[in-house]
Structures are given as C-alpha cells and as structure tokens.
C-alpha cells in the first residue's frame, strides 16, 4: 500500500471541512465493528468494548488514545480504526487509571502490530505517571496473518508487565476468550478477574488437547472461571456478570495505592476505634478441635464488617483479603479451621505467599491471624514440593518491610507457628489470646514422643497417655512461655482485639526499614 493511499483523501479545503472530516473519521472509529459482529457479541450477553469502559470509569472521564490508529499490514482485508483495542485514561472514584479494552467485533480482538503498539504506549504512560493499568481482555490471541510481528508485540507487553511489577497495580479482567500467548500477560499482572460462563483462559484449546492427548474436555472445564478460581488458582476473583466483575475491580482499587510510593487511600469510617468484640467469646470455640469460620472473626474485627476476600474458592485452608482498620487499608492472612483444620499445604502456602508479596509491594500493612496445627502431612504433599512451596511463604514474610502484626487465637504449632509471621521472621508486634497454644507440636503428638516409655511401661497405657497429654498441655500448650521470652508482646483479652490492632498499626505507621544493596533475592519458586 502506497504512502498516497495511507494519507488523508482530503489534503485541501477549509478548516471547517477538515473538522468535518475529523468528526466523520471519529464517528467511524466509534462504530468500527460490523453490525453482524456487534450482534454476535450481544447475543452472547456481552457488553461492547466501549460500553465496558463507560460502565467502569467515572462518567465523562475517559480520554481516548490512538483512536485513529489502524493496521499497516499490506495484506489486510480491511483497515478499521482502533485496530481492535480501545486505549486511554480516566478516573475511578476520582482517581486516575489507564486502561485498554479489547474489541472482539474487530478481527476477533486479535493482536497485531498496531494493536500491540497501542498497548505498549498505554503501559509506558501508566508507569511514567504512576497510575494503575487495567486490561479488559476479550480477544482471539495473535493475529495469524501478521505472523512473528504479532508475537513480538506480545513480547513487548510481557516485558512491560515485569517492568511495572511492584510499582503500579496491574489488573487483568478476562471478559471473553484469552488463549495462547495472550494468557501470559494476565498471569504476570497482580490480579486476575473472570466472569462466570463467559470468560475462558487456556494455553491450548479443547481441540488441540484432544488431538495431542486424546482427552475430551469442554471449554468451561478446561479454562472457565470455575476451573481457574477453584482448581488452578489462576484467577483471584470471579463474578456472575460483567457489571459485577467491573464493580469488584473498582472495590479492589479502593484498597490499593496508585503506585508503590503513594499511600493507600484512607476512608473515613463510622465504626468506632473503641468498639469491643464480645462476640468473639462465643464465636471461637475453646476446644481447639472444634472448627469455626475465621471469616466471621475477621468481619467482627474490621471496619464495618467489610472484608474483601482474595482467592475465595482456592486453597481454602488459608483465607486472604483486604479490609480496613480505622479507615486504613490492610491485608489479612488467616488460617481457616473450617477447611483441613487450617493446615498449611502446597496450595495455601503459595496463595498466602503471593498475597503477602503483593501487600508488601504496595505498602499495605499485614495482619496474620494464626490458628494452625502445622503443615499437611502425606506422601503426596512431600512429593509435590511442600518444602519448596512452604518456603515461598516463609521468604515472603521475611522479605516484607511493611508493618506486620501477628495475632494467635488458638493453635500455633511447630513450623506453622514460625512461618505464620512469628517474631523470629520479623513480625513487628505479636499478640495472643489466653487460649493460644504455642508449642513445637500438638500435645497428643508430643506426649506420644516425650513420654513413649512411660506410656508403654504403664499397666494402663490409655489412662497414662491421657494423663501425659494433660501434663504436656498444662506445661507447654499455652502463651505464657512465649510471653516470658518476648516472642509474644502481649497476651490480650479477645474483647480488646480490635482496639489493640488499631493501636498497633497506628504505632507502626512510620515504620522504615533499609533493604540490603542487591539486585534481588532468589525466591524459592
């Protein structure tokens, strides 16, 4: 295609004519997809690319970039404006964000050279000004006719994902297909959102899987929101509609700073800092073998009971999420006694490690609520790399420089006690309830080892074992020895928990820690 063909057909005429030409071109860009393609999108119950932007951003705040960009590929059958992706900036609750929205009505939302250049430009701008970058993904992957040019475009996106990591929040919202190389950019962002039944992510589709492995699998089973939120752990948040998922993104942004230098937004709360927590006395069973839902405990403690859970459907023995204390956003990691008694396993260790590193990246204080009997035993866990995955969580805590408070409610046994943000790995403050049991292992297991001979040689081994378990529990399974040594800073009345946490985070607000001069640590991935 010649330069003449690429140039404007209207090189002469008055300014009014040129303005009219501009308006015509922009109107064409606003409706670049064919009527048939638009109808297909609507038949699937999906919003159009621009409708998603309008719903997400504050009204009238969007400023579009590269609206008149289009492919330079010589063999293109058509050259619609925008080239299949809408990019620009706007505000969410008055705070600036940059975003792109892939347009499935144009070339199936596939990525070509110009498409990629638009996203590169947007990501560079977001990083340079220190504002979140949000991708609304709904595309068919690489644009096959453009070949290696489109692959290189993906490379440029991946490179920028890493450059921006830990500096600005990067959020991926999957609102349709996301396949092949397209999945790796979301995988390197901080958070992934998906829509039930209409979002799909996979490296290779069902047809390829069947050809290569002989397995027959549906699109939903292979890469649907349910699969990735409950089994693979790829996506952190799922909602039932596009509107609901965009609302959740807005809620997440309310907890996050715009970048790693600015503070997170503090909101005024009507929830008193002096509120006591009598409900906890009934909520948490004194018998540590009895389960309870730790999210009930968390909603009792935090401002207005507002707890925004992260990876709600995956690795359930640990609960992670965002909340506020006296208006200040914090990240919370808590063992969940309702699932596997709250043990740490491969998946929960990885989930919590990722969350701790995310909070640390963006300056969010961390509360760790401990009720853990230990790490999950078993051949499957050991052979699956429990040591390596558990080390991720240990590394994440040791590396974190944000204010950190540990709260031990009941069990804190063995390695789980250490890994769940103990004083030894850098927790700033450690509080415990009188019901806390801080010990090398649970009393029954410890008695079987320490008093093995006495139990075996007694005439009544069951009675002797029961006696020895009680002795060990009285002597060791309590918070007093740890408090004597200073491993616990204060044993508190559960009723006073919220007050103590708010006072603790206020005291730690100005915490500063110098990091060693090194390129980066070697995380046990």
Residue 74 falls in the annotated catalytic set: no
Is 416 a catalytic site residue? yes
**Residue 28 to residues 1, 34, 107, 477, Cα–Cα distance (Å):** 21, 11, 16, 72
With 70 as the cut, is the pLDDT of residue 3 above it? no
> What's the pLDDT tens digit per position in 256-296?
999 999 999 999 999 999 999 999 999 999 888 899 999 99
pLDDT of the residue at 126: 98
Let me know if 415 is a catalytic residue. Answer: yes
- Specify the pTM: 0.94
Name the active-site residue from 130, 155, 166, 180: 180
Lowest mean pLDDT, pick from 232-246, 331-345, 465-479: 465-479
Q: What is the pLDDT of residues 416-466, one digit of tens each?
A: 999 999 999 999 999 999 999 998 887 777 777 877 777 777 877 777 778
* For residue 86, pLDDT beyond 90: yes
CA distance 150 to 311: 32
CB 351 within 8 A of CB 314: yes
Q: Pairing mode, if any, of strands 170-174 and 177-179?
A: unpaired
According to the model, what pLDDT value does residue 181 have? Answer: 82
Q: What is residue 472's predicted lDDT score, i.e. its pLDDT?
A: 80
Considering the candidates 156, 166, 181, 233, report the single residue annotated as catalytic.
181
Query: In a 3-state reduction of DSSP, which class is residue 18?
Result: helix
The owner of tokens 């040591």 is 387
Residue pLDDT, tens place only, 15-33: 999 999 999 999 999 999 9
The H or E element that residue 389 is part of is helix 386-399
Structure tokens at 148: 């290696």
Give φ, ψ of 411 to 5 degrees: -85, 135
Alpha-carbon torsion (28, 32, 36, 39), positive or negative = negative
Residue 4: predicted pLDDT: 46
pLDDT of residue 372: 95
- The DSSP bridge pattern shows strands 308-310 and 318-325 to be antiparallel
Q: Measured between alpha carbons, how far is residue 310 from residues 178, 232, 248, 435 in Å? A: 22, 14, 11, 28
Q: What is the pLDDT of residue 300?
A: 98
pLDDT band at 56 (very low <50, low <70, confident <90, very high): very high
**Could you give the CA distance from residue 232 to residue 282 in angstroms, rounded to a whole number?**
36
Q: Please tell me the predicted confidence (pLDDT) of residue 461.
A: 74
488-517: average pLDDT: 95
Mean pLDDT over all residues of the chain? 93
Q: pLDDT grade, residue 11 (50/70/90)?
A: low
The helix or strand, by DSSP H or E, that contains position 296, with its residue range, turns out to be helix 294-301
Contact present, 256 and 359 (Cβ < 8 Å): no
Kindly tell me if the per-residue pLDDT of 8 is higher than 80: no
| Residue 69 falls in the annotated catalytic set | no
Percent of the chain with pLDDT strictly greater than 90: 82
User: 441 or 64, which is more confident?
Assistant: 64
* pLDDT confidence of residue 162: 97
Helices 49-56, 242-255: inter-axial angle, 10-degree rounding: 40
For the record, the structure tokens of 449 come out as 């080892």
pLDDT category at 207 given cuts 50, 70, 90 is confident
- All domains of the chain in start order, with CATH: 12-255 (3.90.226.10), 279-440+477-507 (3.90.226.10), 443-476 (no CATH)
Single out the catalytic residue among 116, 416, 432, 447.
Answer: 416
pLDDT of residue 474: 78
- Kindly name the residue from 155, 415, 426, 445 that is annotated as catalytic: 415
Residue 407 has pLDDT above 90, yes or no: yes
pLDDT at 449: 81
Query: Which structure tokens are listed for 200?
Result: 């799909």
Burial class (CB within 10 angstroms; exposed 0-12, middle 13-18, buried 19+) of 254: middle
């Amino acid at each position: 295609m010649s330069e003449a063909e690429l140039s404007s057909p209207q090189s002469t005429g008055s300014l009014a004519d040129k303005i009219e030409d501009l308006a015509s071109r922009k109107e064409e860009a606003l409706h670049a997809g064919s009527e048939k393609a638009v109808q297909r999108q609507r038949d699937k119950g999906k919003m159009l690319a621009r409708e998603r932007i309008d719903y997400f951003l504050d009204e009238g705040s969007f400023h579009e970039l590269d609206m008149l960009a289009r492919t330079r590929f010589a063999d293109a059958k058509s050259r619609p404006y925008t080239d299949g992706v809408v990019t620009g900036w706007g505000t969410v609750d008055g705070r600036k964000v940059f975003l792109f929205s892939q347009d499935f009505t144009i070339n199936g939302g596939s990525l070509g050279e110009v498409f990629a250049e638009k996203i590169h430009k947007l990501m560079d701008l977001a990083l340079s000004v220190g504002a979140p970058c949000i991708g609304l993904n709904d595309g068919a992957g690489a644009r096959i006719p453009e070949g290696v040019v489109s692959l290189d475009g993906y490379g440029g996106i991946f490179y920028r994902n890493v450059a921006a990591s830990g500096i600005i929040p990067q959020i991926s919202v999957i609102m349709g297909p996301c396949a092949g190389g397209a999945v790796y950019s979301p995988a390197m962002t901080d958070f992934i959102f998906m829509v039930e039944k209409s979002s799909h992510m996979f490296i290779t589709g069902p047809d390829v899987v069947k050809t290569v492995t002989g397995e027959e699998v549906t699109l939903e089973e292979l890469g649907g929101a349910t699969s990735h939120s409950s089994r693979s752990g790829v996506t952190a948040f799922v909602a039932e509609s596009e509107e609901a998922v965009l609302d959740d993104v807005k809620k997440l942004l309310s907890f996050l700073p715009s970048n790693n230098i600015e503070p997170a937004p503090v909101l005024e709360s009507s929830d008193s800092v002096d509120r006591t927590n009598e409900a906890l006395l009934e909520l948490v069973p004194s018998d540590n073998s009895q389960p309870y839902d730790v999210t009930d405990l968390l909603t009792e403690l935090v401002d207005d009971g507002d707890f925004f859970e992260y990876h709600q459907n995956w690795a359930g023995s640990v609960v992670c999420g965002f909340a506020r204390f006296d208006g200040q956003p914090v990240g919370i990691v808590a063992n969940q006694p309702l699932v596997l008694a709250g043990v740490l396993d491969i998946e929960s260790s990885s989930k919590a490690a990722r969350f701790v590193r995310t909070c640390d990246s963006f300056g969010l204080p961390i509360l760790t609520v401990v009720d853990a009997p230990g790490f999950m035993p078993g051949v499957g866990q050991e052979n699956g790399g429990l040591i390596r995955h558990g080390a991720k969580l240990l590394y994440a805590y040791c590396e974190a420089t944000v204010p950190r408070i540990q709260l031990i409610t009941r069990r804190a046994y063995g390695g789980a006690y250490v890994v769940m943000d103990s004083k030894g790995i850098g927790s700033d403050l450690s509080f415990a309830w009188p019901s806390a049991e801080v010990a090398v292992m649970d009393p029954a297991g410890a008695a079987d080892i320490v008093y093995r001979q006495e139990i075996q040689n007694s005439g009544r081994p069951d009675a002797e074992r029961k006696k020895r378990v009680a002795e060990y529990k009285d002597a060791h399974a309590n918070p007093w020895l740890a408090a004597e040594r200073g491993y616990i800073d204060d044993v508190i009345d559960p009723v006073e928990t919220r007050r103590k946490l708010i006072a603790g985070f206020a005291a730690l607000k100005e915490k500063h820690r110098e990091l060693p001069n090194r390129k980066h640590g070697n995380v046990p991935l």
